[in-house]
Amino acid sequence: MRREHFLQGGVWALLLWPCLLTVSHPLDCKEEQGSISRCPTISQEKLLDRVIQHAEVIYRVSEESCTLFEEMFVPFPMRLQRNQAGYTCITKALPIPSSKSEIQQISDTWLLHSVLMLVQSWIEPLVYLQTTLDRYDDAPDLLLNKTKWVSEKLVSLEQGVVVLMKKMLDEGMLTTAYNEHGLVQYDVQPEMLESVLRDYMLLSCFKKDAHKMETFLKLLKCRQTDKYNCALY
């Protein structure tokens, strides 16, 4: 039986986030007057703000999910083992800038492409994570709801970033197949310990990459508003 006492009121606030969307529709954007319009019809500035807000909440929920999973299933020695076992994040092979100097030097175009690559690379692994967490005997509903929420919102973040790229870069239809490269196939049933470690690594790596998405988008915003004072990113 799952532990019902882990259900907390805060999860419903997250589930009712204003940018909630179905997976099959583009990012909806609400104007101040209350009317609903699709993202392509609002200004580039407003769209970037909404995309940043989306990324912020995704990172916050990913952080909460990782902490909750760690407290529930990962004893402290296993946390050390994760750091020493040579696990590699699935996005390591992507051409994403990692150092602060690299991030400061890349163009606005590559910032957006980097965000898009990260987003698309995590869509399928998070779907897998929902499936494997559902097999845990005592996985709390709060954890399951958070991972499901993030998985759905990642798709809408992808849609928002694609529209933003078209607005900012005047690009046509974008080919988006980054998630087909360099990712692990999850069709083998692992032993429980291996499964816990792998799921923990996935959550930890996603939290790290979600922070990158947020940082890249905020740097892009900073460059547009105060390009001479963006060294903090």
Domains of the chain listed by start with CATH number: 44-74+107-172+193-225 (1.20.1250.10)
pLDDT tens digits, 44-82: 888 999 999 999 999 999 999 999 998 888 887 776 665
The secondary structure of 133-200 as a DSSP string is: HTTSTT--HHHHHHHHHHHHHHHHHHHHHHHHHHHHH---SPP--GGGSSPPP--S---HHHHHHHHH
Is the model's pLDDT at 83 over the cut of 80?
A: no
Distances 217 to 2, 16, 53 between C-alpha atoms, Å:
37, 23, 10
Q: Read off the pLDDT of each residue in 184-206 and give the average, rounded to a whole number.
A: 74
pTM of the model: 0.76
Amino acid at 61: V
Burial code of 138-159, b = ≥16 C-beta within 10 A, e = fewer? ebbebbbbbbbbbbbbbbbbbb
pLDDT tens digits, 138-170: 888 999 999 999 999 999 999 999 988 888 776
Is the model's pLDDT at 181 over the cut of 70?
A: no
pLDDT tens digits, 92-138: 889 998 888 888 888 888 999 999 999 999 999 999 998 888 888 88
Is the model's pLDDT at 39 over the cut of 70?
A: no
Question: Rounded distance, CA 188 to CA 131, Å?
Answer: 13
| Least reliable range by pLDDT among 84-98, 150-164, 205-219 | 84-98
